[in-house]
Structure 1
Amino acid sequence: MTSPDTSSPAASPTSSAAPAPASAPTPFHDLSAFVALPRVSGLTLSPDGTRLVTTVATLNGKGTGYATALWELDPAGERPAHRLTRSREGESGAAFAADGTLYFTSTRPDPSVDDADKAAALWALPARGGEARVVLNRPGGVSAVTCAAHADRVVVTAERLIGASTEAEHARLVQARKDAGVDAILHAGYPVRFWDHDLGPARPELFLLEDGPDPQGVPESDASDDGAAPADDAAHHLRHLTGVDRSHAFGLGAEVAPDGSFLLTVVATAEARGNVREGRVVRIELPTGEHRVLHDVPGEDAHVGPVSHDGTRAILTRTPDSTPDSAVAPQLFLLDTATGETTPLAHGWDRWADVVGWLPDDSAVIALADSDGRRPVFRIDVATGEVTQVTHADEAWSDVVLSPDVTTAYGVRSSYLFPPEVARLDLVTGEAERLRNPAERPEIPGRLEDVEATADDGARVRGWLALPEGAAPDGGHPLLLWIHGGPLGSWNAWSWRWTPWIAVAQGYAVLMPDPALSTGYGQEFVQRGWGRWGAEPFTDLMAITDAVEARADIDATRTAAMGGSFGGYMANWVAGHTDRFRAIVTHASLWALDGFGPTTDAAFYWAREMSPEMQEANSPHRFVGDIVTPMLVIHGDKDYRVPIGEGLRLWSELLAKSGLPAAEDGSTVHRFLYFPQENHWILAPQHAKVWYEVVLGFLAQHVRGEDAPAVPDVLGLGRPTAG
């Protein structure tokens, strides 16, 4: 559910994009060209503000995955971007140290070690250039690195087996499991998995990177005859920091004080009946490893944000546990890093903010928040709580980093007219300039409009409408209603997985609305749909669909509905409550809520969202007999958020109980696209192509009335019968 160049200025999504010539198709007309587009993500800035590094993912030679590389951009926007790293395995997680060293993680082979295990090692590029070198290589790998801005302190996040108290014991246990060929996990707590991976028997831990050999020794298998560590491994070791009681669930972040004296982290605690709470804020002194709890309030989750430059305050987001009657409602606080006292910050502002940094004089913080189908940059004065919106373009910002010059920030921005790109932002004027990025913007085969409608209860419901370029054909464009996941989210940023332009290139108009439960419209808009998934979210979707279908350029007789995760739930609900659509596509969807609750990876959270009575009232499976619309069901077997059992039960009941059941010979108009190795998202590029090909073929048949399409050859089925 809860549930991703030149220096030309950004186009506004509310205006038409430059039309592509009819004789020159865009990458969205060709799925092979689309999956090969470079993908920019993440950003890190050197402490002196002179170097800016991002990550670019490109298609591998076989077309079966993406390899990432680090690229440096000129913060001034004058020099072209240039590539820093190059390997088949790729690099990620870049972070600058105070001395300008660029740390990153990679599974590329260590040239100094023969037959090294395929685990992510910690690498470093010197500030003055040169070859990257391995800083640390350990069994189980390294997950992330965080550096102090103004001190020689490097914090490493890595998984350690729960039964190990030293790195030597960890290495011995890892080898024992490997030698025995055992991957079984004996659990003593909840949860047991998260999104797409199993939890345990290792858990994330925080370490400080230190020079010299590990004083706690090395495993005998790695020692020389005299018991000393091998020379190549003696340069650095990890000193364990997180010696605090906590649940094995969830990861660990590290907010390091600029002077490197301490860090703040949030640990999860397990409570009765499998309830897990991310709520204990712990301060760890980096020189000594001493730790103490700064904040721990039962009945709430807490997340700690950046530490001020003077080290006295940090941002704290406190979220009281939701209940079936009360929606999630996060609020900002200032946390005193010495006493743990909290002070409300901007509580009169009705948005959910993520604070990304402090201005150099600590007078204000910079934050991002969903707002009206965008994700602008905001400035919050810490003394008064006054909020000022900095950016006003139709964009969504992420990965914002602040320059030491007070007035400049850099970030990754996107809209539905361009994928993520790195831009420079003037924090005073709000003007943004695209830097010289590693990749060009792809041409968009259409235009985007802001649309809205009024719901039955008078609420405003808005969304984006993507349209093909040029005049509409006689009768109008066929329409696809796309329903976002979450449900606590918004259609406000580019998505590689749900890209409307592929459908637009085929002549469809795509409606992307934000119904009740969507973020960026205030707390009351979320509360409207809380525990009422089948009520206001559904009627909001129908209201805005009615409004768009009334347009002269839309063909109201040729429409379909689609969604993934919560959007898949809504697609199932739509299928059982109206016959207005010619086809329904439901991806990774919730079907029978009583079964979903105990099997999702976070059952404790689901129990806070709906009572058993709400689950019964809002469960789509109760209306299977009313489904008379052809449905395409899509699910990945490795999906732990919405387990495969939801898709299997939906498919079984659709064929046996729907208003369009399978015939006696087993033929059916419905289809089930199953991915044995994919999870909640279809990530492999070859599978993404299959996803789009099957979806577009299904829509062409049922929305446009074309012949049953030949399925992709790689599925090995040829042309199926129409059912």
Structure 2
Amino acid sequence: MTQDTSADAAPHPQTPFHDLDSYLALGRVGGLVLSPDGTRLVTAVQSLDPGRTGFVSALWEVDPAGERPARRLTRSAKGESSAAFTAAGDLLFTSARPDPDGTPDDDARAALWSLPAGGGEARVVATAPGGLGGICTARDADVVSVTAPVLPSAADLAEDAGLRKTRKDLKVDAVWHTGYPVRHWDHDLGPDADRRFALSLGRLAEGEQAELRQLTGAGRQLDEAGAALSPDGATLVTSWTVDDAGAARRETLVAVDTATGERRTLVDDPDAEVGSPVVSPDGRWVAYVTSTITSPTESPVVRAGLVALDGSGEPQVLADDWDRWPTSLAWLPDSSGLLVTADEDGRGPVFLLTFDGAPGAGSVTVERVTADAATFTDVQVAPDGSASYALRTSYAAPSEPVRVDLAAFVASGAPGEREPVVAVVLPSPAPAPELPGTLTEVETTAEDGSRVRAWLALPAGASAADPAPLLLWIHGGPLNSWNAWSWRWNPWIMVARGYAVLLPDPALSTGYGQEFVQRGWGAWGDKPYTDLLAITDAAEALDEIDASRTAAMGGSFGGYMANWVAGHTDRFRAIVTHASLWALDQFGPTTDHAYYWAREMTPEMAEAHSPHRYVGDIRTPVLVVHGDKDYRVPIGEGLRLWRELLADSGLPAADDGTTVHRFLYFPTENHWVLTPQHAKVWYSGVLAFLAEHVLDVPEGEGDRVLPTTLG
């Protein structure tokens, strides 16, 4: 494939992926909620702010019938998120935008807003000094629950406000810790922690705010908690984190009385973590997701669970013989079953789990509902059960709202014999962009007989006469799958520059059964590595691929694998390793949740599979990318990798310090590199590095083949 590298040769933008500014300007749909009467769908759309330095979200309404175009509901510089409908049909959301009836405050925290069902202006209905979030609403009652971060010594929100003011005035940001962890992903934990509150909105006078009734006290039990209200609003069900030996933590499930705050435990399994609770419409049952606690020799087993809301009987595991891992649960309106999403074969379909009798009394049947080669999220069920709504995504399109005809599925045959249905796309506030190529699939057989498959994004025009260079992209996780659109790791930007991008699911990937995960467990450098090479061989054998021009890249666990690849083969022209694990003995104690890593590998396993041991065998140019605020894979991994590449690799820096390796460092970014202009630098830097080593662009001129130059 020819590539014009002259200084004046800017590619003609044919799709948004040919120009990074156009790509960043694309709207991004996320989240979906359905009104109690089933007539309104609301989603959020993220877009660039006027300065193009950040993203803001606005709420849009989507017609469930698919007849009317989407319409915008909110508009502010601060943006709106976390939409939820009350029993009366009012739309709640959180936003830090100024209250028209209040005093302007540039440091305002997110408040709870209400947009009346009958029309009118949105107004603030509740505030807290540290902001509000975690909205839960009751289906049949005027009860709402929210979270608010509160300083540990504050008895209530009024005292919290005073303590916050004192810390701010004295410029104190120290945090006193009494437990573990102290960090999570990209932020420091503390000094405050979430507490749960309940409120009622039914009789608020104009300008009046609801009283927040505190349900839980001080502590870190609600970190990252999932929660749901019973239909009558009398009970809040929430995950509740408890401490275990060895500075470990584990999620349990509790029920909280929203009138008294009395708490009782529903599920406390010392061998599993439980979360994502949903309460049945009849108010009798709680379904949840349970995941067994791992050991260095046993991978997790993820299942759906069921427990009576009143605490009677023992918790049950549902469909234990179904070899898939549930990712979300939604009840049918008559409480006769659940819609379940799960990864499967590079997709994430919707499944119907029905009880053969009353819930908790017998066996269950699981059937696939959706036929789409796509992944479904945010599933919402119509009040009459005739349809469900969701966001559908794949590597062919970003998230878009769809309707699934459940009535047609049920009518297609007897249980176990029904035909999956194709979802109907609803008018989206952010229609899917045109792609610069095509999406296909590749598969092969590994040495042990396991099937390994991948998505392959091919540039338009790739052929035997004009084959495309290949990029092997390795996903993170490692318990993950390339089955949903990614804005941060988007292959179509590379496809627009002429590359074919291979998105494989090697051992440890989800959606292929328990054994497929287990075959890579505790031995990251074995089956995951050989699977990657096998699927790369299969892709390179295609007529459309130029096997002489290949590169490999990955982030997080994918970065680990990129480092491992670099130390075990020189078949690739370049390696890009983002937020990567390098020295596993160093990574283990310093990652944000070290107790999880201790469950994953013994010290001996970590030593055997640590990429840093093979630095002397690296003879491929490597681009290291890392953000300083990455607490999952601390910056020390990137710093040590960079120094050892230059000093100890098989391709070290010259005596004068010059090197073919590069380090792209982001002082204020985290694990993902999220801000728009930094994302632009990330894509530009990766493209420049690849252009030099894969497209044979002269050294230092890689930016000349980019849609924009690096500053």
**Structure-1 separation of matches of 2:256 and 2:467:** 62
Distance verdict in 2 for CA 1:212–1:47, change over 3 Å: closer
* Gap regions ≥5 residues in structure 1: 1-21, 215-230
Determine whether 1:485 maps to 2:473: no
**Structure-1 separation of matches of 2:425 and 2:589:** 46
Worse overlay, 668-677 or 551-560: 551-560
Distance verdict in 2 for CA 1:541–1:212, change over 3 Å: closer
**Structure-2 separation of matches of 1:554 and 1:407:** 46
- Conserved in 2, the CA contact under 8 Å of 1:157 and 1:252? no
Question: How much does 1:146 deviate?
Answer: 1.1
**Structure-1 separation of matches of 2:378 and 2:221:** 28
Question: How much does 1:709 deviate?
Answer: 4.1
Structure 2 partner of 1:325: 297
Choose which of 584, 589, 596 in structure 2 pairs with 1:593. 584
Taking the TM superposition and a 5 Å limit, the aligned residue runs for 1:299-318 are 299-318=271-290
**Structure-2 separation of matches of 1:344 and 1:575:** 42
Choose which of 121, 124, 131 in structure 2 pairs with 1:131. 121
SS at match of 2:87: coil
Structure 2 partner of 1:391: 370
Deviations 1:352-392 (A, max 9, x none): 01343111111110010000000000000123311000001
- Conserved in 2, the CA contact under 8 Å of 1:481 and 1:512? yes
Matched to 2:213, the amino acid is R
- Conserved in 1, the CA contact under 8 Å of 2:703 and 2:710? no
Structure 1 partner of 2:609: 618
**Structure-2 separation of matches of 1:595 and 1:87:** 45
Deviations 1:196-220 (A, max 9, x none): 1111111111100146999xxxxxx
Query: Normalised by the size of structure 1, how large is the TM-score?
Result: 0.91
Structure 1 partner of 2:260: 288
- Conserved in 1, the CA contact under 8 Å of 2:12 and 2:18? no
Determine whether 1:255 maps to 2:228: yes
Choose which of 385, 390, 395 in structure 2 pairs with 1:416. 395
SS at match of 1:237: coil
Question: How much does 1:476 deviate?
Answer: 1.9
Deviations 1:134-170 (A, max 9, x none): 1112211112211001111111111111111211111
**Structure-2 separation of matches of 1:696 and 1:397:** 31
SS at match of 2:589: helix
**Structure-2 separation of matches of 1:213 and 1:129:** 17
**Structure-1 separation of matches of 2:267 and 2:683:** 47
- Conserved in 1, the CA contact under 8 Å of 2:226 and 2:275? no
Question: How much does 1:702 deviate?
Answer: 0.3
**Structure-1 separation of matches of 2:690 and 2:317:** 50
**Structure-1 separation of matches of 2:208 and 2:64:** 37
**Structure-2 separation of matches of 1:684 and 1:105:** 21
Structure 2 partner of 1:184: 174
Determine whether 1:242 maps to 2:216: yes
SS at match of 1:236: coil
| % same residue | 58
- Conserved in 2, the CA contact under 8 Å of 1:690 and 1:712? no
Deviations 1:397-444 (A, max 9, x none): 101111102120111011111111111111233231111111222100
Structure 2 partner of 1:83: 72
Deviations 1:498-537 (A, max 9, x none): 1111111111111000000000000000000000100000
Matched to 2:158, the amino acid is A
**Structure-2 separation of matches of 1:710 and 1:694:** 12
Taking the TM superposition and a 5 Å limit, the aligned residue runs for 1:2-401 are 25-116=14-105, 117-210=107-200, 235-243=209-217, 247=220, 250-279=223-252, 281-339=253-311, 341-383=314-356, 384-401=363-380
Structure 1 partner of 2:517: 526
Matched to 1:242, the amino acid is T
**Structure-2 separation of matches of 1:167 and 1:114:** 19
**Structure-2 separation of matches of 1:250 and 1:563:** 29
Question: How much does 1:23 deviate?
Answer: 7.1
SS at match of 1:616: helix
Matched to 1:59, the amino acid is L
- Conserved in 2, the CA contact under 8 Å of 1:479 and 1:560? yes
SS at match of 2:498: coil
Structure 2 partner of 1:225: none
Question: How much does 1:342 deviate?
Answer: 1.3
**Structure-1 separation of matches of 2:353 and 2:329:** 11
Matched to 1:370, the amino acid is D
Deviations 1:69-115 (A, max 9, x none): 00001111111111000001100000000001111000101122224
Deviations 1:458-499 (A, max 9, x none): 100001011011242646211000000000000001110111
Question: How much does 1:251 deviate?
Answer: 2.5
* Gap regions ≥5 residues in structure 2: 1-10, 357-362, 410-420
Matched to 2:212, the amino acid is L
Question: How much does 1:315 deviate?
Answer: 0.8
SS at match of 1:361: coil
- Conserved in 1, the CA contact under 8 Å of 2:685 and 2:710? no
**Structure-1 separation of matches of 2:365 and 2:595:** 36
Taking the TM superposition and a 5 Å limit, the aligned residue runs for 1:421-436 are 421-427=400-406, 428-429=408-409, 430-436=421-427
Deviations 1:526-559 (A, max 9, x none): 0000001000000000001111111222111110
SS at match of 1:157: strand
SS at match of 1:648: helix
Structure 2 partner of 1:224: none
Question: How much does 1:249 deviate?
Answer: 6.8
- Conserved in 2, the CA contact under 8 Å of 1:356 and 1:401? no
**Structure-2 separation of matches of 1:424 and 1:596:** 44
- Conserved in 1, the CA contact under 8 Å of 2:129 and 2:157? no
**Structure-2 separation of matches of 1:357 and 1:371:** 18
SS at match of 1:529: coil
Deviations 1:169-198 (A, max 9, x none): 111111111111111101110000100111
Structure 2 partner of 1:14: none
**Structure-2 separation of matches of 1:389 and 1:444:** 29
Distance verdict in 2 for CA 1:711–1:676, change over 3 Å: farther
Question: How much does 1:131 deviate?
Answer: 0.7
Structure 2 partner of 1:407: 386
**Structure-1 separation of matches of 2:63 and 2:673:** 34
Structure 2 partner of 1:4: none
**Structure-1 separation of matches of 2:66 and 2:207:** 40
Worse overlay, 27-36 or 165-174: 165-174
Distance verdict in 2 for CA 1:712–1:109, change over 3 Å: farther
Choose which of 476, 492, 495 in structure 2 pairs with 1:501. 492
Structure 2 partner of 1:8: none
Matched to 1:426, the amino acid is D
Structure 1 partner of 2:431: 440
**Structure-2 separation of matches of 1:683 and 1:208:** 33
Structure 2 partner of 1:652: 643
- The number of equivalent residue pairs is 679
Question: How much does 1:235 deviate?
Answer: 3.1
Question: How much does 1:665 deviate?
Answer: 1.1
Q: CA RMSD in A?
A: 2.1
**Structure-1 separation of matches of 2:83 and 2:161:** 26
Question: How much does 1:710 deviate?
Answer: 4.4
Structure 2 partner of 1:683: 674
- Conserved in 2, the CA contact under 8 Å of 1:306 and 1:355? no
Deviations 1:613-635 (A, max 9, x none): 00000000000000000000000
**Structure-1 separation of matches of 2:496 and 2:172:** 49
- Conserved in 1, the CA contact under 8 Å of 2:148 and 2:194? yes
Distance verdict in 2 for CA 1:471–1:538, change over 3 Å: closer
- Conserved in 1, the CA contact under 8 Å of 2:95 and 2:110? yes
**Structure-2 separation of matches of 1:64 and 1:355:** 33
**Structure-1 separation of matches of 2:689 and 2:546:** 18
